[in-house]
Amino acid sequence: MLSKRKINKIKLLNNKKDFRLDKFIELALFSRNGYYLRKKPIGRKFDFITSPEISQMFGEIIGVYLLYNWKEKINSKFNLIELGPGNGTLFKDIERTAQIFPNFFKNADVNFIEINKELREIQKKNLKYFRQSKIKWSKTLNFRSKLPSIIYSNEFFDCFPVRQFLNVNNHWFERYVKFNEIENKYYSINKRVISKKILDYLNKLKKQNIYEVSYSRNKYFEQICKYLKKNRGICILIDYGYYKKLKNFTLQAIYNHKKTSIFENIGQQDISSHVNFNELIEIAKQNKLQINEFVTQRDFLIKYGILERKKKLLTKNSNLNKNLLDEEVDRLINSERMGNLFKCLIVSNL
């Protein structure tokens, strides 16, 4: 856990009064002492494991999808942009898949958008076999290039801070955060919503007593859509999320593989929320992008050949452990495991 001194550093920014939940999450994740700037979170040994870390087949299927779209619809110089590459595992699997078709990487300007300095170093180390000069790292997306782009991400959009609203007896409240000086810890309070713009929106939500929104996530995605509209390209994002109305808030904190309160272990634990895909799809439509796919991870991986790929791997290499491969694929596509919770959204202007 962060020392009292470090908690106070986060607190000092807002010590006078209560502040919004998204501001708290932003500080807990992205401030100097925040989780994403100081922890190495991803992998079997660490806080959570992601799909590319579970199986190489995940990245191979995405790789084939990217290759096909580039060949059919771009076939010239382009930006290949990964958002939040983690350990670089997804890229490694895509890069290996693309070896059958060298023109893909010959034409690619590779950009990694990564906020975590330690993860940037891990990516460099894990990908040192790749011609480093061709990968550019940045903390934020820049929209200067005029080339068409292929942008992809896995578990990136769930990292954005959210705001939460709830309706009690026909009055809308927003969740805020306060610091208790005596107990030296944070707690949440509800404040009446007074913004007319927000109230107008909330009042239009039919039969919905809660609303969770990440304005920063929506804005980030909107910038991507505008960029694709202007310069052509495709965006493939995979994340856990929902499409229909929410029954419960989705904000969660994970520490040592267990769910905890967002107010504990500040700076040491992951805080995430499910992506509202309905809103992302609306943003893509408003920007006149085509919605190529919106499916569950299960349907995406099966449609683009994960079962055939597993068979091929087993036929090609008799040393592979069939039970292990079965388990990996099951974890990715089983509806009770990651299969349904994770969704794949693909939007394009190609």
For 10-40, b where at least 16 C-beta lie within 10 A, e where not — what string?
A: bbeebeeebbbbbbbbbbbbbbebbbbbbbe
Residue 114 sits in the site that holds ligand SAM (CB under 6 A) = yes
Residue 102 burial by CB count (10 A; 0-12/13-18/19+): exposed, middle or buried? exposed
Instruction: Kindly indicate which of the ranges 129-137, 155-163, 261-269, 291-299 contains the residues binding ligand SAM, using the contact rule CB under 6 A.
Output: 155-163
Least Å from the CB of residue 95 to ligand SAM: 15
Q: Which of 31, 55, 116, 214 binds ligand SAM (CB under 6 A)?
A: 116
Residue 42 sits in the site that holds ligand SAM (CB under 6 A) = yes
Nearer to ligand SAM, 64 or 237 (CB): 237
Residue 159 sits in the site that holds ligand SAM (CB under 6 A) = yes
Question: What is the distance between the alpha carbons of residues 160 and 345, in angstroms, rounded to a whole number?
Answer: 17
Question: What is the distance between the alpha carbons of residues 280 and 128, in angstroms, rounded to a whole number?
Answer: 35
Residue 279 sits in the site that holds ligand SAM (CB under 6 A) = no
Nearer to ligand SAM, 126 or 145 (CB): 126
Q: Which of 36, 104, 152, 211 binds ligand SAM (CB under 6 A)?
A: 36
**Running DSSP on this structure, what letter comes out for residue 114?**
-
∠ at Cα 76 (304, 128), nearest 5°?
75
Instruction: Kindly indicate which of the ranges 79-87, 277-285, 311-319, 342-350 contains the residues binding ligand SAM, using the contact rule CB under 6 A.
Output: 79-87
Nearer to ligand SAM, 159 or 202 (CB): 159
Nearer to ligand SAM, 86 or 148 (CB): 86
Residues 84-113 interacting with ligand SAM (rule: CB under 6 A): 84-86, 90, 113
Nearer to ligand SAM, 135 or 202 (CB): 135
Residue closest to ligand SAM, measured at CB: 84
Residue 119 sits in the site that holds ligand SAM (CB under 6 A) = yes
Tokens 């895509």 sit on residue? 94
Least Å from the CB of residue 214 to ligand SAM: 11
Who's near 269: CB < 8 A, 6+ residues apart? 35, 47, 253, 254, 255, 260
Residue 338 sits in the site that holds ligand SAM (CB under 6 A) = no
Please compute, for residue 218, the number of CA atoms within 13 A of its CA located in the half-sphere on the CB side. Answer: 16
- Among 81, 35, 90, CA closest to 58: 90
- Among 143, 87, 89, CA closest to 111: 143
Please say whether the beta carbons of 271 and 35 come within 8 A. yes
Residue 213 sits in the site that holds ligand SAM (CB under 6 A) = no
Q: Which of 24, 78, 156, 221 binds ligand SAM (CB under 6 A)?
A: 156
Residue 65 sits in the site that holds ligand SAM (CB under 6 A) = no
Q: Which of 28, 34, 39, 50 binds ligand SAM (CB under 6 A)?
A: 50
Which H or E run contains 329?
Answer: helix 322-333
Question: What is the distance between the alpha carbons of residues 69 and 13, in angstroms, rounded to a whole number?
Answer: 46
Residue 52 sits in the site that holds ligand SAM (CB under 6 A) = yes
- Chain positions contacting ligand SAM, by CB under 6 A: 36, 42, 50, 52-53, 84-86, 90, 113-116, 119, 154-156, 159
